[in-house]
Amino acid sequence: MEKSSRVIELKEVVIRFSGDSGDGMQLTGTLFSDSSALTGNDISTFPDYPAEIRAPQGTIGGVSGFQVHLGNSEVYTPGDLADVLVAMNPAALKANINHIRPGATIIMDVDAFDEKNLRKAGYVGDDPVTEDSLQDFNILKAPISTLTKASLEDMGLDKKTVLRTKNMFALGLVLWLFNRNLDNVNTLIEKKFGKKPEIAKANKKVLRDGYNYGVTIQALTPSYIIQSADLEPGVYRNMNGNQAIAWGMIAAAEKAGLKLFLGTYPITPASEILQELSARKDLGVKVFQAEDEIAGICTALGASFSGSLGATSTSGPGLALMSEAIGLAVMGELPLVIINVQRGGPSTGLPTKTEQSDLMQALYGRNGESPAVVMAGSTPSNCFDYAYWASKIAVEFMTPVVLLSDSFLANGSQPWKVPKLADWPAIEPPYAVGAAQDWHPYIRKDATLTRYWAVPGTPEFMHRIGGLEKDYNTGDVSYDPKNHHRMVELREQKVQNVAEVIPELHVYGPRNAEVLVIGWGGTFGHIYTAIDEMNLTGDSIAYAHFNFIKPLPKNTEKVLRRYKKVLVCELNMGQFVSYLRMTYPDIPFQQFNKVQGLPFTTSELKERFLKLKND
């Protein structure tokens, strides 16, 4: 491979691809990310979609972005600010001015910077470099659209098809910028467009010409190299949170000897779970796309009653519709996994943006005393782990489990080490077996208070269950006041008993710190990075991250009382901190909240932590 005359070695870099929603920035970012993972870099990605399906072309509202952070050591966030910005039009430049580092490299498709597009983006003059004070940035103006047309002029493709490949020219240029060969991306293109050989050929040609353009201008622009990360040996694949959840449930069903059934209705940003599982008929997965969320969860509940691992997936608006059926699962004491991929609200809200505002809904958003286990993934890859845990708990405790993810985790990706199923804990369904003479549907298996699972068709175990209150002993319908009180307490205690089997709360950082930072769910990477960087510079701060929310880990109170100051960080107005205040009312929790449809940045977290430490 030819090298630039100036090759600079970097430990990490953040790249942001940005353009109109039709410019293929998500594909471009995904190809670069997957190629980087195959090269051996650790990565973290952040796809940023426009909220409107058909936002006006050329406007800031229609800008689609994809940010990737890659390095030669473990990477936990997609990065605060980009070192390289690819701006396919003026709106992409304008929308990202505040998201790039001082002195960053900006690659512009100058063909798109005409008067019409400049005005759409809100520029007054004809020179955005001067207007946005970008003179100190490394600006690379490339006629990407013109060169793409020239590249494919002999292939006989129509103009629209030709211009749709210009993202590959930009990708080729970025691959040159970071001294990457084209082999991995070419393989990925062939896989993506396998059924359209002419399109695959066109994309590969434009990719190569974009790379060669970089070689041509190498005397003017330095290039960079990032060595491979020292990852634990094993087989890896680049995995996003939605895919990881799907595979975690598949693994759990296999381990439990059950069939996996997903009954659901498509909703952003959870739809990919449906798509991923619908492709896994080869593994015995059954998927039903219902007419709405209510029908989706009810079919999953029916599958659970009949002896399958029942699951449903949704986002906040859909979870609201499912509340009555979740209550039925609580009353019927049936295993059910409910995945809620959170997004900005209320109502339709910000369907493509991230938020953590469904926690109270997951905990309490049902009529009556209706307890359910609530847990959350914290990285795209460990969504596999917590989907497995959610399935295990649902089956072994015969209870619904709400697994919270969010848009950031669902769409973000990172390398995932493919596990060995033998290394995962067993899942043992509490089947009703033996003589049925003295058996009733609500007889308890043991101290866990789990009822037995009598699969319909099992000889001598015929029974019925439903939404009316049950007698403690027989399971018959009961209106006895004292029995109702007893059953309410039992269902709550059964959920609390889950604390006996989940891991204790782990604390990162020094035990003698005065400040404890708390996070939950998808905030992990940013908080962990901020804490780690501060501890390396001598600022002693501890960090506890919650994946199990109801019940809380057994040692939670012991951990909380160890520190003088406790700060809870979350992407809402303070839902988890309110839950903790209700549970431990004498602990003076402080809070740091952000509700912008965006993750925390490490810089804003460090600023807040330092202020708390010095107060």
For the residues 317-328, what does the mean pLDDT come to?
98
Picking from 52-56, 154-158, 373-377, which range would have the lowest pLDDT averaged per residue? 52-56
pLDDT digits (tens, 9 = 90+) for 520-559: 999 999 999 999 999 999 999 999 999 999 999 999 999 9
- What is the pLDDT at residue 221? 66
pLDDT digits (tens, 9 = 90+) for 555-572: 999 999 999 999 999 999
Q: Are 494 and 449 in contact (CB under 8 A)?
A: yes
- What is the pLDDT at residue 588? 97
Say if residue 3's pLDDT is above 50. no
Mean residue pLDDT across the chain: 94
What is the band of 462 on the pLDDT scale with cuts at 50, 70, 90? confident
Say if residue 5's pLDDT is above 80. no
What is the band of 351 on the pLDDT scale with cuts at 50, 70, 90? very high
Say if residue 370's pLDDT is above 60. yes
Does domain 507-614 sit in CATH 3.40.50.920? yes
Rounded CA-CA distance 594/353 in Å is: 13
pLDDT digits (tens, 9 = 90+) for 177-210: 998 989 999 999 999 998 999 999 999 999 999 9
Say if residue 509's pLDDT is above 60. yes
Phi and psi at 474, nearest 5°, equal -90, -25
Say if residue 219's pLDDT is above 60. no
CATH T-level topology, domain 7-226: Pyruvate-ferredoxin Oxidoreductase; domain 3 (3.40.920)
Q: Where are the domains of the chain?
A: 7-226, 237-423, 507-614
Rounded CA-CA distance 265/188 in Å is: 30
- What is the pLDDT at residue 566? 98
For the residues 127-132, what does the mean pLDDT come to?
93
Question: What distances in angstroms separate CA 323 from CA 152, 300, 372, one per listed residue?
Answer: 54, 14, 11
Say if residue 384's pLDDT is above 80. yes
- What is the pLDDT at residue 6? 63
Picking from 37-51, 113-127, 159-173, which range would have the lowest pLDDT averaged per residue? 37-51
Cα dihedral value 351, 354, 358, 359, nearest 10 = 170
Q: H or E element: which one contains 416?
A: strand 413-417
Say if residue 486's pLDDT is above 80. yes
Give one DSSP letter per residue of 532-586, joined into a string: HHHHHTT--EEEEEESEEESPPTTHHHHHTT-SEEEEEESSSSHHHHHHHHHSTT
What is the band of 582 on the pLDDT scale with cuts at 50, 70, 90? very high
**Residue 64 structure tokens:** 């689609």
Rounded CA-CA distance 48/378 in Å is: 19
Rounded CA-CA distance 272/529 in Å is: 28
Say if residue 2's pLDDT is above 50. no
Q: What's domain 237-423's superfamily in CATH?
A: Thiamin diphosphate (ThDP)-binding fold, Pyr/PP domains (3.40.50.970)
Give every CB contact of residue 568 below 8 A, 6+ residues apart in sequence. 518, 519, 574, 576, 577, 580, 589, 590, 591, 592
49-57's contacts with Cβ under 8 Å and 24+ in sequence apart are 49/21, 49/352, 49/411, 50/21, 50/352, 51/350, 51/351, 51/352, 51/353, 55/21, 56/120, 57/20, 57/22
What is the band of 463 on the pLDDT scale with cuts at 50, 70, 90? confident
The answer to whether 237-423 and 507-614 have equal CATH topology is yes
Say if residue 4's pLDDT is above 70. no
Picking from 217-221, 232-236, 450-454, 610-614, which range would have the lowest pLDDT averaged per residue? 217-221
What is the band of 226 on the pLDDT scale with cuts at 50, 70, 90? confident
Of 229, 236, 234, the C-alpha closest to 74 is 229
What is the band of 435 on the pLDDT scale with cuts at 50, 70, 90? low
For the residues 362-373, what does the mean pLDDT come to?
98
pLDDT digits (tens, 9 = 90+) for 237-247: 899 999 999 99
Displacement of CA 572 from its chain's centroid (Å): 17
